[in-house]
Copies of this chain bind each other. A is one copy, B any other.
């Protein structure tokens, strides 16, 4: 992890540990430089990162302030947002339904920018949060990038493993959202009725090089589908 990212993490910790709230002011730049014992440019880059993540906002000539207008039960939609500690407050678990090496359908191949005869890992699992059914996840990995998965790995956080275990560097993602009615198979897995509301999230994840390596379709139990996004708003 680059120095300024580490400092950004530490500033987040500082906000948590001091239970700072929406609108609370952070120490001035000089104070942060002294506290973390780093240069002005490192602090500036760390604060820019936190602003992009929606953790703080900067008011020209006035200072740096905390953003933390959270609602109970709402989770961050974007995996790169949100205080780590708050995410850890939820107990999560996975039940693996399928894990296999296979060939992609046309739609999957297009999203992953691979050929129809390239190998992919297909993972299907049900995820639980606080012992409630959260979602049904179908996830497709380009096997030339995510070279190895097994049942143990996919019962935990796959993204943790591919970053820390395989050294994959995740760049950015495209996220597609829509609501609809549950199909019979989805309803069965979520222990709901067909035609009940569903909240669908489809994502394509890219390496820092811009190459896609994962496409996933997640069908959320609508009763558990509460998400927030803190935008960093660049309005023109």
Interface residues of A (CB under 8 A from B): 1, 5, 8-9, 23, 49, 52-54, 57, 59-60, 62, 65, 67, 69, 71, 74, 77-80, 163, 170-181, 196-199, 204, 206, 208-210, 220, 222, 225-236
Contacts and interface: CB of A to CB of B under 8 A. Distances in A.
A24 B100 CA distance: 33
A227 B180 contact: no
Report copies per complex: 2
B176 A227 contact: yes
A177 B229 contact: yes
A78 B234 CA distance: 10
Contact of A170 (B62, B171, B235): B235
Given A9-B236, A175-B229, 13 more contacts: A52-B232, A59-B208, A59-B210, A62-B209, A65-B210, A78-B229, A78-B231, A80-B236, A173-B230, A175-B231, A178-B222, A179-B179, A196-B197
Contacts of A176: 71, 74, 226-228
B69 A174 contact: yes
B171 A233 contact: yes
Contacts of A209: 59, 62
